[in-house]
Amino acid sequence: MEWLNRYRDSGLAAKLTELLKRQEDLGPVRFMEVCGTHTVAICRHGIRQLLPPAITLTSGPGCPVCVTATADIDAFILAAKLDGTIITTFGDLLRVPGSKSTLQEARAEGADIRTVYSTLDALQIARENPDRQVVFPGVGFETTTPTVAAAILTAAAEGIPNFSVISSHKVMPPALHALLADPAIRIDGLICPGHVSIMIGADAYEPFVAQYNTPCVIAGFEPIDILTGVVMLAEQARQKTARVEIAYDRAVARKGNRQAIAVMERVFEPVDAPWRGLAVIPGSGLEIRPQFDRFNARKRFAITVDDAKDPAGCACGDVLKSIKTPADCRLFGTACVPEHPVGPCMVSGEGACGAYYRYQKT
C-alpha cells in the first residue's frame, strides 16, 4: 500500500492546491468530471472545497446505473417476472426505481433474483440450473461490456442454452459529443473517465479537442490524481489551448486495450440508445449482434416496454447533464435519501446525489 500513499500525500495536495490558487489570470472555468467514481472521490476527499472560486467541478453522466433509462429497468423487471427465470445482477441495480417498482420489490414478491459479482457467476448459475432461464441485465460502459461479451462467447463455445443478456450497454464518446454540442451546457474541460479510458485509450478524446476545442485530461481516482488533472486542465484553460493529456499513465495508454474492445465489438454492435436525461443518442448503445440472437433476452422472450415513466420530481436527468447539482433537486435530502431513494443517482454507489449526500450534504 505504500505506493498508494504517494497519491494521498497531503503535502503534495497542498502544493497542487497552491498552484491552482496562483493561477490569478484564470477566468471562471467549469470542468466536468465525467465518471461517477471521480464524483465519489471528489466528494469523499473534499476536493471541491480545496479549489479556488474560479474553478467549478461539475458532475457528468459517467455512472452507468444512473444513465440507464427507466424503460430498461422496466425490461429487467419484466424478465424477472417471467415464469422460471433467474435474474443474475450486480447489486447496485436492485434498488433502482423502474416505472412502478424495483428489482428488489420484484424479489420480495417472489422473483428469483440473485446478486452476482461477475458474469462468471451468472454463467455458473446457468450451468447449475439447466432447466431454468438465466438472464443477466447488461449495464455498463466500455469497462464492463467486454466481460459480458466474453460471457456470451463462453456460453456459445460451451453450448450453454439457458443464458441470455438484456443489453443496456453504452459507449461514452457519443454522450460526450452530445454534451459538448449542447449550447445550454458550458464545459471548459473534461476530466475524462479513468476506467473507460483504460479501454478506449487517450486517442479517443482527440475528436473533442478538434471539434470543440475542449481540453481533456485523463485522471486516476486518488486525490493527487484528481488534483493533478485539475491543474493540467487549468493550465490549458489559462493558455487558451486544448489537447489530450494523461495524468493516469500508470493505467492508460494512447491506444487503450484493443484486445478487450475487439471482444466487445465481436459480440455487440452500435445502436441508438436512450440515456436518462440525454434522450436518444445516436450510436451510443450496444446491442447484441444478430448472430448471437439466442443470447439476446429481449428477442428471446419478446420483452418490450412502451410506457416507461421517470420518477416524479426527480431531477436526475438534469444532474447527469450538469445543468443542476444534486442540491438543486427539491427532493434531495428530504424525500430522497439513500434509505429511500427516488432516483438512480441516489441509489448507485457512483451516483452524484448519493455521493453529495454522504460526503457534502450540499
> What secondary structure letter does DSSP report for 356?
I
- For residue 207, what are the contacts with CB-CB under 8 A and spacing of at least 6? 173, 177
What are the backbone dihedrals phi and psi of residue 191, each rounded to the nearest 5 degrees, phi first? Answer: -85, 100
Tell me phi and psi for residue 199, to 5 degrees: -80, -50
The Cα angle at residue 147 between residues 111 and 349, in degrees rounded to 5:
60
Q: List the x/- string, 266-305, binding to ligand SF4 by CB under 6 A.
A: ----------------------------------------
When CB distances to ligand SF4 are compared, the closest residue is 343
Q: What whole-number distance in Å separates Cα of residue 353 and Cα of residue 356?
A: 5
317-356 mask for ligand SF4 (x: CB under 6 A)? Answer: --x------x--x-xx---x-----xx-xx------x---
Please, are residues 148 and 92 in contact by the beta-carbon 8 Å criterion?
A: no
Task: Output the CA torsion sign for 140, 145, 149, 155.
Answer: negative
Residues 48/42, Cβ–Cβ less than 8 Å: yes
- Antiparallel, parallel or unpaired: β 55-62 and 169-170: unpaired
| Smallest distance, ligand SF4 to C-beta of residue 333, A | 7
Cα 99 to chain center, whole Å?
Answer: 21
Contacts of 71 (CB under 8 A, 6+ apart): 274, 305, 308
Q: Minimum CB separation from ligand SF4 for residue 338, in Å?
A: 10
247, 220 Cβ separation under 8 angstroms: yes
Nearer to ligand SF4, 181 or 279 (CB): 279
- Residue 16 CB, shortest distance to ligand SF4, in Å, is 30
Residues 256 and 248 sit within 8 Å (Cβ to Cβ): no
CB of 335 to ligand SF4, least distance (A): 7
* DSSP assignment string, 262-281: HHHHHHEEEEEEEETTTEEE
Interface mask toward ligand SF4 for 45-64; x: CB under 6 A: --------------------
Q: What's the one-letter identity of residue 321?
A: K
Q: How far is the CB of 343 from ligand SF4 (least distance, A)?
A: 3
Nearer to ligand SF4, 189 or 343 (CB): 343
Please state whether 283 falls in left (phi above 0), alpha (psi between -120 and 50) or beta. left
Minimum distance, C-beta of residue 169 to ligand SF4, in the bound complex (Å): 22
Q: In the bound complex, what is the minimum distance in angstroms from residue 64's beta carbon to ligand SF4?
A: 15
Work out which of 122, 314, 322, 350 binds ligand SF4, going by CB under 6 A. Answer: 314
User: Which residue type is seen at 173?
Assistant: P
Which residue from 232, 263, 267, 315 is in contact with ligand SF4, where contact means CB under 6 A?
315
Q: Please work out the total of residues on this chain that contact ligand SF4, with binding judged by CB under 6 A.
A: 14
Stretch that binds ligand SF4, among 237-245, 253-261, 287-295, 315-323 (CB under 6 A): 315-323
Question: Which residue type is seen at 248?
Answer: Y
* Closest approach of ligand SF4 to the CB of residue 331, in Å: 4
Q: Given the complex with ligand SF4, which of 177 and 324 has the nearer CB atom?
A: 324
Q: Which is nearer to ligand SF4, 34 or 315 (CB)?
A: 315
Does position 316 bind ligand SF4 by CB under 6 A?
yes
Looking only at the bridges linking them, the beta strands covering 268-275 and 279-288 are antiparallel
Choices 113-121, 130-138, 166-174, 312-320 (CB under 6 A): range interacting with ligand SF4: 312-320
Q: In terms of CB distance, is 172 or 355 closer to ligand SF4?
A: 355
Shortest distance, CB of residue 325 to ligand SF4, whole angstroms?
Answer: 10
Task: Please give the residue ranges that form the binding site for ligand SF4 (CB under 6 A).
Answer: 314-316, 319, 326, 329, 331-332, 336, 342-343, 345-346, 353
